[in-house]
């Protein structure tokens, strides 16, 4: 009930607030602009960093090829049986589904045997004397990416050959490799296992030769980095494609000690990566690698995506620190501007406040008018400022600093809840800044008003207790520590990078403290200047200097604002 009564009383005071705002709209408009700028700067920190992160991530990913963004996964396992293959596939696919499925556009699986020596039929005794090698492989979707040349056909699943002779498998091979080995359609070769097995020789018959439909298709990255990985370099290699049945039921059953390399090509959809999930994506890929390395033998994971995102995170971390410092300093200066303009507005209305107090109004009643006025300005600024900041930041894409990265177009910006939250923080600070002079003015009585009109005001409390000097001394000590450390960024003994929040505030502390100390010297400087220059200056200028020395408050506020702006410009 008490809250309802308070709300009703505030609503009754609303017409007075509106009339006062209309009467002093010129000076009030400067206050509104200051509050709007404060909220826009606070919201702009989030919006600008988000836009910068998206732009930086897009630029980093564009520097990678499709093969570099994709993830290659491989593991060796033996013997070559369906059971072992199912175990490996189950473990890998389960981890992929848990960690990286949300990031993938496609998933391509394949397997290859260990490497064999290759000879012509009848020359098996000299196997291994040259650099000719072969391997058998199976990729379920392989036929979708090749064209079998005329005269060729798909191999049968059963071995052929006369009893008492080595088994013969029907295979298809790439035409360029067949030409290098001198093998024509229906030609045969012998493959000899380099490891000891009960049946060391298997003959192959090329019943088909194939060509790649699109050699630039990222599908062939699996063949290049997984299937052919162990036979690159100085070896001349020919791959033989088998069906799944032949690979396990014939080849695997024949060679009891045959190891198989199981590989996956994980095709990453980079459009699903953004600044909000890039770090999570890197952590997920790394977690998948650690888990599978601990589970599977000879596990490897190949991608450039992790290193790129890590480098992007590092660069972003070090890039946003100076921008964050500057934006905080700008916000501090703007908040001081709000306090200054609000003070001038309140002092303009001081006679009105004294009149209300003389008619029986209490301090709380006078203050409620300023509370309503400040709350209205702050609430409107909280909702308008993020939109205004987003529009301004989007047009930064046309500036020379961003035109190369943005393609001379507007930056992509987003209005997140964090932007409105930071705008609300700016609104709260602005509201407090508006109330500070209002609280002081609401306590003014008729007697104190006459006293202050006749005599200059006393020093501010921070000057009476030398808090400005103490703050400057603390800033100098922090600056000395910063100089010794060399950076606001520190690296722990475990390699973790962290920001020293105290040292991060050094620029703001020194800027504000220096401005306050100069403000302390302002009246003294005016008094000395008036005494030294009074013999040579006209009477009007001398009286002006005396006035500034006797009543320094108004001039000191503007001087402090100019000092803060100049210091901010030099620091930036």
Distance CA 516, CA 561 (A): 10
Give the pairing type, strands 104-113 and 188-193: unpaired
User: Phi and psi for 484 in degrees, rounded to 5?
Assistant: -70, -40
110, 139 Cβ separation under 8 angstroms:
yes
Question: By mean pLDDT, which of 25-34, 486-495, 547-556 is the weakest?
Answer: 486-495
Q: What is the pLDDT of residue 288?
A: 94
Question: By mean pLDDT, which of 38-47, 294-303, 306-315, 475-484 is the weakest?
Answer: 475-484
221, 72 Cβ separation under 8 angstroms:
yes
| Mean pLDDT along residues 380-395 | 89
Give the pairing type, strands 168-174 and 201-212: parallel
Q: Higher pLDDT residue, 40 or 443? A: 40
Q: Is the dihedral of CA 460, 561, 546, 28 positive or negative?
A: negative
Q: What is the pLDDT of residue 147?
A: 92
The confidence band for 171, taking pLDDT boundaries of 50, 70 and 90, is very high
At residue 52, the 3 state secondary structure works out as helix
The confidence band for 531, taking pLDDT boundaries of 50, 70 and 90, is confident
Q: Higher pLDDT residue, 131 or 447? A: 131
Distance CA 572, CA 322 (A): 9
Give the chain's length: 572
Does the pTM of the predicted model rise above 0.75? Answer: no
Mean pLDDT of the residues in the chain: 80
Provide the β-strand partners of residue 118: 191
Give the pairing type, strands 236-241 and 132-138: parallel
Nearest to 320 by CA among 27, 519, 32, 47: 47
Write out the H or E segment, with its range, that includes residue 353: helix 350-358
Q: Higher pLDDT residue, 545 or 492? A: 545
Q: Is it the case that residue 224 has pLDDT exceeding 90?
A: no
Question: By mean pLDDT, which of 29-38, 522-531, 562-571 is the weakest?
Answer: 562-571
Residue ranges of the alpha helices (H) in 24-113? 25-62, 66-69, 82-99
Distance CA 218, CA 138 (A): 17
Q: Is it the case that residue 244 has pLDDT exceeding 80?
A: yes
Q: Higher pLDDT residue, 177 or 314? A: 177
Q: Higher pLDDT residue, 398 or 239? A: 239
Q: Is it the case that residue 499 has pLDDT exceeding 60?
A: no
**Start-to-end CA span in the chain (Å):** 52
Cis before 79? omega within 30 = yes
Q: Is it the case that residue 294 has pLDDT exceeding 60?
A: yes
179 Cβ contact partners less than 8 Å away, ≥ 6 residues apart: none
Q: Is it the case that residue 341 has pLDDT exceeding 80?
A: no
Q: Is it the case that residue 211 has pLDDT exceeding 90?
A: yes
| Mean pLDDT along residues 55-82 | 88
Nearest to 138 by CA among 31, 218, 243: 243
46, 79 Cβ separation under 8 angstroms:
no
Give the pairing type, strands 201-212 and 146-148: antiparallel
Measure the CA dihedral 526/527/530/531, to 10°. Answer: -150
- Cα angle value 457/461/463 (rounded, 5°): 90
What are the b/e assignments for 249-262, b being 16+ CB within 10 Å? bbbbebbeebbbbb
Q: Is it the case that residue 17 has pLDDT exceeding 90?
A: no
At residue 360, the 3 state secondary structure works out as coil
| Mean pLDDT along residues 88-96 | 93
Q: Is it the case that residue 345 has pLDDT exceeding 80?
A: no
Distance CA 143, CA 146 (A): 5
457, 553 Cβ separation under 8 angstroms:
yes
Q: Is it the case that residue 453 has pLDDT exceeding 70?
A: no
98 Cβ contact partners less than 8 Å away, ≥ 6 residues apart: 288
Question: By mean pLDDT, which of 5-14, 79-88, 269-278 is the weakest?
Answer: 5-14
Q: Is it the case that residue 240 has pLDDT exceeding 60?
A: yes
Work out the percent of the chain whose per-residue pLDDT is above 90: 21
Question: By mean pLDDT, which of 187-191, 445-449, 556-560 is the weakest?
Answer: 445-449
Instruction: Kindly report each contact of residues 453-459 with a partner whose C-beta sits within 8 Å and lies 24 or more positions away, as own/partner.
Output: 456/550, 456/551, 456/552, 456/553, 457/553
Q: Higher pLDDT residue, 163 or 195? A: 195
Q: What is the pLDDT of residue 476?
A: 81
The confidence band for 73, taking pLDDT boundaries of 50, 70 and 90, is very high
| Mean pLDDT along residues 178-189 | 88
Name, of 98-112, 302-316, 353-367, 458-472, the range with top average pLDDT.
Answer: 98-112
Distance CA 61, CA 54 (A): 11
Distance CA 148, CA 212 (A): 9
Distance CA 101, CA 265 (A): 12
Distance CA 238, CA 116 (A): 10
């Amino acid at each position: 009930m008490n809250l309802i009564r308070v709300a009703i009383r505030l609503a009754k005071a609303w017409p007075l607030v509106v009339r006062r705002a209309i009467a002093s709209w010129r000076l009030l408009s400067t206050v509104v602009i200051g509050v709007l700028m404060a909220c826009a700067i606070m919201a702009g920190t989030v919006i600008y960093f988000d836009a910068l992160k998206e732009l930086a991530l897009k630029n980093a990913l564009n520097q990678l090829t499709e093969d570099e963004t994709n993830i290659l996964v491989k593991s060796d396992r033996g013997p070559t049986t369906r059971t072992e293959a199912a175990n490996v596939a189950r473990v890998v696919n389960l981890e992929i589904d848990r960690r990286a499925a949300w990031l993938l556009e496609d998933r391509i699986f394949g397997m290859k045997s260990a490497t064999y020596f290759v000879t012509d039929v009848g020359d098996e005794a000299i196997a291994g004397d040259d650099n000719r090698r072969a391997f058998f492989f199976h990729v379920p979707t392989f036929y979708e990416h090749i064209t079998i040349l005329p005269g060729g056909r798909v191999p049968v699943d059963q071995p052929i050959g006369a009893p008492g002779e080595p088994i013969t498998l029907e295979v298809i091979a790439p035409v360029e490799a067949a030409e290098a080995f001198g093998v024509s359609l229906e030609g045969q070769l012998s493959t000899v296992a380099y490891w000891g097995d009960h049946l060391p020789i298997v003959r192959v018959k090329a019943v088909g030769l194939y060509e790649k439909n699109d050699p630039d298709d990222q599908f062939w990255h699996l063949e290049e980095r997984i299937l052919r990985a162990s036979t690159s370099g100085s070896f001349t290699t020919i791959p033989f494609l088998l069906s799944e049945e032949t690979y396990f039921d014939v080849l695997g059953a024949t060679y009891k000690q045959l190891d198989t390399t199981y590989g996956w090509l994980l095709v990453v959809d980079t459009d699903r990566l953004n600044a909000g999930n890039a770090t999570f994506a890197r952590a997920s890929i790394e977690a998948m690698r650690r888990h599978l390395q601990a589970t599977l033998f000879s596990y490897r994971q190949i991608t450039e995506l992790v290193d790129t995102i890590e480098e992007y995170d590092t660069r972003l971390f070090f890039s946003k620190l100076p921008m964050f410092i500057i934006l905080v300093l700008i916000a501090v200066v703007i908040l001081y501007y709000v306090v200054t303009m609000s003070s001038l507005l309140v002092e303009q209305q001081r006679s009105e406040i004294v009149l209300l107090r003389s008619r029986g109004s209490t301090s709380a009643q006078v203050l409620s008018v300023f509370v309503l006025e400040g709350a209205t300005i702050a609430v409107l600024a909280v909702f308008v400022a993020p939109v205004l900041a987003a529009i301004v930041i989007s047009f930064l894409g046309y500036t020379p600093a961003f035109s190369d990265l943005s393609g001379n177009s507007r930056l992509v910006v987003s209005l997140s809840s964090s932007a409105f939250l930071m705008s609300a923080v700016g609104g709260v600070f602005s509201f407090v800044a508006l109330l500070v002079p209002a609280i002081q003015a609401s306590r003014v009585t008729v007697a104190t008003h006459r006293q202050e009109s006749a005599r200059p005001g006393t020093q501010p409390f921070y000057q009476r207790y030398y808090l400005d000097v103490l703050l400057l001394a603390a800033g100098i000590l922090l600056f000395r520590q910063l100089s010794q450390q060399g950076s606001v960024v520190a690296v722990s003994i475990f390699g973790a990078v962290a920001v020293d929040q105290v040292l991060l505030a050094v620029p703001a502390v020194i800027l504000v403290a220096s401005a306050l100390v100069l403000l302390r010297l302002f009246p003294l400087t005016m008094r000395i200047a008036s005494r030294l220059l009074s013999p040579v200056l006209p009477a009007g200028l001398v009286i002006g200097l005396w006035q500034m020395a006797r009543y320094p408050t108004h001039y000191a506020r503007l001087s402090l604002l100019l000092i803060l702006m100049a210091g901010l410009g030099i620091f930036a």
